[in-house]
Structure 1
Amino acid sequence: MASTFSRDSKSEEERPLYEDFTNGWKPKVSYHFNEEAAQFHFGMKHPMKPFRLMLTDHLVLSYGMHNKMDWYKPRAATEDEIEQFHADEYVKFLQSVTPSTLDQFPDAPSKFNIGDDCPIFDGLYEYASICAGASVDASRKLINDQSDIAINWSGGLHHAKKFEASGFCYVNDIVLGILNLLRVYSRVLYIDIDVHHGDGVQEAFYLTDRVMTLSFHKYNGEYFPGTGSLDEIGAENGKHYSLNVPLRDGIDDESYTRLFKSILEQVLVKFRPEAIVLQCGADSLGGDRLGRFNLNIQAHAECVRFTKSFNIPLMVLGGGGYTPRNVSRLWAYETAVCLGIEPDTELPANLPFYQHFAPDYSLFPQLSGLVENHNSRGYLESVHSQVLEQLRYLNGAPSVQMQAIPPDLFGQTTEHDQQIAEARIDPDARDLTLDAKDNARQGELVEG
């Protein structure tokens, strides 16, 4: 029987392009994005394309999700905020260098790791500070109870170190955001589902028990950044508070989500975080230019959905992702997951750059099966058991005395700063480190 109900034209135009499945508790979601971050360019042949942020923004707006959350245009991070983690000398270099003045800094490649991965481009410091400012702003909204979930897709730049750039990352917005959260929350859990190991964040908090880092990533000892083995467990107060889940090429949806859920449940029981930071690098999707996994968008987003389900203050960040049309699909859908809505599978016809999503024009393209799966059941069970064995060493969640700046963070003390500085000026040690990084990137930088 034909329906006797019909909408008038205005109602049809205003109909949201999603179904709302929320009931009961509805989290306060905030979206932190400064559109200027999408206007920078790393270079024609560089895989990092800030353009992906604009595509994500267009998708979120075209689906009408902005009507369901608070929308903020954050300011750039200040020099003082960036220097909460990064060394003054390094920050001054980022502020002053330009493509035309790079020759005035002949030691920059070795001293600050500037090169093909981390080039100098116009507006570099502005770009880095804008991305960092959005994460700082997101952390503030969580601290002030203005948000339950705060989203910054321009953030998640997890490779940047205190003294240097690394892996397309110049300022570690994640560390800055976590440092802010630690002013209020006793314990923060950092979760990383980028295909690359979250080495910069792990290094920053390697000596503290106030931050637990949990990274799921490809690892074979050579794949960039070459870190992230099961043996990297933290040190001193932070021993057993760094957890790594090394995976092989081609892991599929079911294996990944099952492993993620089973490990995260146990981490939450043992560590009892008061806030969570989730880095959602999109290069773990199948078909990514630099990634080697087989994940579909729904499986990646299931990790967000599961993390959200525990109703713990949550900061959701971007990260890697080098096939822009799929990056934007993923992050738009994960925004919907945070909101508790289900968008139409078919992309909105009024979407700017609609042709960019040809030929399927779908929110969920088929991305699995592109790489052979080398993760046997036995291997995954072994990784699972070894991670849980680490958790057995924890005798409940650590209690801490609240302090404005946690004193036990890697590189935050004079002694550790001196150790890092000595290692950096040792030419033999420095050459070995750079050689290892270069080898790990073999074959990754591609044209297009």
Structure 2
Amino acid sequence: MTSTSPRTVAYFYDSDVGNFHFGPSHPMKPHRLAVTHSLVLNYGLYKKMHVYKPYRASSQDMVRFHSGEYIDFLQRVTPMNIHSFSKSATHFNVGLDDCPVFDGLYDFCSMYTGASLDGATKLNHNTCDIAINWSGGLHHAKKFEASGFCYINDIVVAILELLKYHPRVLYIDIDCHHGDGVQEAFYLTDRVMTLSLHQYGNGFFPGTGDMYELGSEAGKYYSVNVPLKGGIDDPSYMQIFKPVITSVMEYYRPTAIVLQCGADSLALDRLGCFNLSTRGHGECVKMVKDLNVPTLVLGGGGYVLKNVARCWTYETSILVDTEISDELPYTTYYEYFAPDLCLHVDSIPRQENGNTKAYIESIIRTTQDNLRMVEFAPSVQMHERPTDFIKKEEDEDMKNPDERETEEEANARVEPENEFYNGEKDNDQDATSRTT
């Protein structure tokens, strides 16, 4: 089904989220969010959306997926006290080069996770058709630890919220890196299908995402992986993306979609090795938008700041059905885009496209064969829907912080046994190891 009329778009942005700093040599730059937002404002795209300062996630929100011990650690750790903890930082994979401890770490996690959770809640209540949180999409974080610049997996938290209202959620990941944290979380359930298109092989992080990682138990065939070789360009990518998405929609029929738009799949990224243009990346977003399914759109990777800002601004324009000029408007960050000063920049490929016609055809064929094993679109009988995690402000004000959690509140946090993979077992002997 394709959209025939403009859809209501909610856009979430906290002006503080771009002020955090992973470190001078770290490739992750939260400042890219401020630069993106500045372009969105100066192109006038805010006029086409409902703009919200998002909810900030609490520790209670985060422990729906992550372990309480890990969340407690993130709340208390600082650059000054990290060595005073009884357990070493490596226990949670925090404090190393990829996932450093920096000032305001927990606040940063609370902001980007809360925005994704807020977007999911508004989709659940039909307040919007599309929710955008460019600060989210941190897909590598695991239940017990940080991984790949990601501390809290806002995607998993948001999907768990969507599952209160939606029997089937489709997760699509177009980041250059495999969406391993999300796949692992939902590896045992058929209520979430994870689809990741990513670079695979030759030790590329995170080392997971083989085509034959299919899911396990009730989730068998509900993990869909499209492993790609370096240098893939727009035509080759769309040659795969379109038929795979079409097949996924045919066999799974999701009632909600979460789209992770990692911009490290763009050409000339510092860490990625793909050759996608901003237009090619945006074409994926347009195709998902035109499916006319409630959609949560998130950011992700992307390590050339000006290219990330160009990409997500362009994709915001796609989501609000507005054409914008290739000439960039003047902003505080105008000089960042020199010498091009335009939205779309042609780049010379850094490497040849390693994805041959035969390889692409084999990926499509294998993926579609696996999807045929999905015999029906799973459903779920909801007798009593759990309460929303984002409470009304007056409810929070009335709650006594010294009171113990009631039995009813505790039960509301209990998830079905196979709702997400908890990292403590894996009965699928064929799945490759999950390298962090």
Query: Is the shorter-chain TM-score for this pair beyond 0.5, marking a shared fold?
Result: yes
Q: 1:221 offset after TM fit, Å? A: 5.3
Q: 2:416 & 2:238 partners in 1: Cα distance?
A: 33
Q: 1:24 & 1:267 partners in 2: Cα distance?
A: 22
Q: Is the aligned partner of 1:135 residue 2:145?
A: no
**Counterpart mapping for 1:184-333 below 5 A:** 184-220=165-201, 222-333=203-314
Q: Is the aligned partner of 1:394 residue 2:404?
A: no
Q: Deviations over 1:294-344 (max 9, x none)?
A: 000000000000001011000000000000000000000000000011100
TM-score, normalising length: structure 1? 0.86
Q: 1:97 & 1:312 partners in 2: Cα distance?
A: 40
Q: What corresponds to 2:93 in structure 1?
A: 113
Q: 2:348 & 2:260 partners in 1: Cα distance?
A: 21
Q: 1:107 & 1:37 partners in 2: Cα distance?
A: 29
* Code of the aligned partner of 1:229: D
Q: What corresponds to 2:66 in structure 1?
A: 86
Q: Is the Cα contact below 8 Å between 2:171 and 2:193 reproduced in 1?
A: yes
Q: Is the Cα contact below 8 Å between 2:99 and 2:149 reproduced in 1?
A: yes
Give 2:47's match in structure 1, choosing from 67, 70, 88. 67
Q: Relative to structure 2, which stretch is displaced further, 179-188 or 254-263?
A: 254-263
Structure 1: gaps spanning 5 or more residues: 1-22, 421-432, 438-448
Give 1:382's match in structure 2, choosing from 338, 358, 362. 362
Q: 1:285 & 1:242 partners in 2: Cα distance?
A: 24
* Code of the aligned partner of 2:353: N
* Code of the aligned partner of 1:47: P
Q: Is the Cα contact below 8 Å between 1:157 and 1:169 reproduced in 2?
A: yes
Q: 1:286 & 1:339 partners in 2: Cα distance?
A: 25
For these two proteins, the number of residue pairs brought into alignment is 398
Q: 1:328 & 1:106 partners in 2: Cα distance?
A: 41
Q: What corresponds to 2:19 in structure 1?
A: 39
Q: What corresponds to 2:418 in structure 1?
A: 408
Q: 1:50 & 1:212 partners in 2: Cα distance?
A: 29
Q: Deviations over 1:275-295 (max 9, x none)?
A: 000000000000100010000
Q: Is the Cα contact below 8 Å between 1:296 and 1:368 reproduced in 2?
A: no
Q: 1:109 & 1:298 partners in 2: Cα distance?
A: 41
Q: What corresponds to 1:29 in structure 2?
A: 9
Q: 2:235 & 2:241 partners in 1: Cα distance?
A: 10
Q: Is the aligned partner of 1:53 residue 2:63?
A: no
Q: Is the Cα contact below 8 Å between 1:138 and 1:150 reproduced in 2?
A: yes
Q: Is the Cα contact below 8 Å between 1:252 and 1:368 reproduced in 2?
A: no
* Code of the aligned partner of 1:371: Q
Q: Is the Cα contact below 8 Å between 1:209 and 1:398 reproduced in 2?
A: yes
Q: 1:368 offset after TM fit, Å? A: 5.0
Q: Is the aligned partner of 1:146 residue 2:146?
A: no
Q: What corresponds to 1:122 in structure 2?
A: 103
Q: 1:352 & 1:154 partners in 2: Cα distance?
A: 20
Q: 1:368 & 1:265 partners in 2: Cα distance?
A: 31
Q: Deviations over 1:177-198 (max 9, x none)?
A: 0000000000000000000000
TM-score, normalising length: structure 2? 0.89
Q: 2:81 & 2:142 partners in 1: Cα distance?
A: 23
Q: Which has a greater percent of helix?
A: 1
Q: 2:104 & 2:118 partners in 1: Cα distance?
A: 21
Identity of aligned residues (%): 52
Q: 1:129 & 1:221 partners in 2: Cα distance?
A: 35
Query: SS of the counterpart of 2:16?
Result: helix
Q: 1:317 & 1:359 partners in 2: Cα distance?
A: 29
Q: Is the Cα contact below 8 Å between 2:270 and 2:304 reproduced in 1?
A: yes
Q: 2:272 & 2:252 partners in 1: Cα distance?
A: 30
Change (3 A) 1:106 1:290: farther
Q: 1:369 offset after TM fit, Å? A: 1.8
Q: Which runs of 4+ in 1 moved over 3 A?
A: 106-109, 403-407
Q: Deviations over 1:420-440 (max 9, x none)?
A: 9xxxxxxxxxxxx89x64xxx
Q: 1:86 offset after TM fit, Å? A: 0.6
Q: 1:239 offset after TM fit, Å? A: 0.2
Change (3 A) 1:24 1:235: closer
Q: 1:360 & 1:410 partners in 2: Cα distance?
A: 45
Q: 1:409 offset after TM fit, Å? A: 2.5
Q: 2:258 & 2:421 partners in 1: Cα distance?
A: 21
Q: 1:111 offset after TM fit, Å? A: 1.0
Q: 2:420 & 2:334 partners in 1: Cα distance?
A: 45
Give 1:174's match in structure 2, choosing from 128, 141, 155. 155
* Code of the aligned partner of 1:41: H
